[in-house]
Amino acid sequence: MIRRLLIVVVIFLLAIVVAVDRVGALVADHVLASKLQSDEHLPNRPSVSIDGIPFLTQAFGGDYHHVSVTAHEVPVEHVPVTTLHVDLHHTRIPFSKIVHGSVKQVPVDEVTGSAFVSFDDANTYLARHSPVGSLIRLRAGSGTSVQLTDQVRIAGKSRTLSGTATINVQQNVIGINVTALTGAAQPIVTSLLNGLGVTLPLQKLPFRLTLLSVSVNSAGITAAGQATHVVLGS
């Protein structure tokens, strides 16, 4: 009888510990989300998840091994970034500051992440920033290339050209460089437009991300990068 009672008590205490652990994680998620929204000038509160169980051991040590952050529709230099996802590795915040809402700075050892720009959002930006007399629209390609159409006015008439472009990233600017363009235009006009380039500037990305690579899928363009020894809120 006593043994059964002890087992029940142990299970009850474990349930309390697990509940406190999860509640603590939710509170920390909420406080950190508000802090990151403010510090990184995000238009909406991001989704924040502090990974790892138990949470309380990380909290008491003030070192959160992995924090996942996702934000949507983040404007970066007028480019509508569809989805921004970052992973914060070793985020250091004393739990007492989280409880009292007094977090001022958030040191992070390493940030890895990606900025995804859908073709719809890229085309919204390009509609306002294509070269004069030209309207470039992107669609799915493969690898680091995309398909595109370019509406140009030639001799007072609108002509549609189509072709391919390569995508690269340098100094946080995604470059879109036309490599082949054909259509109902004089060959000399088409040859002049080949080599045309437009950009998606992402030089002021939140979380200090430095973009290192870029890829294309059926929905849009993803640029991935990282940053080290970042102090958010500084």
Are residues 36 and 90 part of one domain? Answer: yes
Q: Is residue 63 part of a domain?
A: yes
Are residues 165 and 86 part of one domain? Answer: no
Are residues 89 and 63 part of one domain? Answer: yes
Euclidean distance between CA atoms 195 and 187, whole angstroms: 14
Q: In what order do the strands lie in the sheet with 63-76?
A: 47-50, 63-76, 79-92, 106-118, 220-232, 210-216
Q: What pLDDT shows up at residue 203?
A: 92
Give the pLDDT confidence of 75-93 residue by residue, as tens digits.
Answer: 999 999 999 999 999 988 7
Are residues 126 and 92 part of one domain? Answer: no
Last residue of a domain, one of 111, 138, 155: 111
Q: What pLDDT shows up at residue 127?
A: 86
Domain that holds residue 176: 119-222
Q: Is residue 14 part of a domain?
A: yes
Are residues 23 and 94 part of one domain? Answer: yes
Are residues 193 and 94 part of one domain? Answer: no
Are residues 124 and 54 part of one domain? Answer: no
Q: Is residue 232 part of a domain?
A: no
Q: Is residue 229 part of a domain?
A: no
Average pLDDT over residues 116-127: 93
Euclidean distance between CA atoms 137 and 116, whole angstroms: 17
Are residues 180 and 149 part of one domain? Answer: yes
Q: Which residue has the higher pLDDT, 41 or 192?
A: 41
Q: Is residue 26 part of a domain?
A: yes
Q: Which residue has the higher pLDDT, 36 or 120?
A: 120
Last residue of a domain, one of 81, 111, 141: 111
Are residues 162 and 89 part of one domain? Answer: no
Cis amide leading into 54 (omega within 30): yes
Euclidean distance between CA atoms 76 and 204, whole angstroms: 6
Average pLDDT over residues 164-185: 81
Q: Is the pLDDT of residue 158 over 50?
A: yes
Give the pLDDT confidence of 6-37 residue by residue, as tens digits.
Answer: 554 445 444 444 444 445 555 566 677 778 88
Q: Is residue 164 part of a domain?
A: yes
When divided into structural domains, the chain yields a total of 2
Are residues 158 and 57 part of one domain? Answer: no
Backbone angles phi, psi at 28, to 5 degrees: -65, -40
Q: What pLDDT shows up at residue 99?
A: 64
Q: What pLDDT shows up at residue 18?
A: 47
DSSP 185: S
Alpha helices in the chain (DSSP H): 2-39, 55-61, 95-99, 119-129, 187-193
Are residues 168 and 218 part of one domain? Answer: yes
Q: Is residue 228 part of a domain?
A: no
Are residues 130 and 94 part of one domain? Answer: no
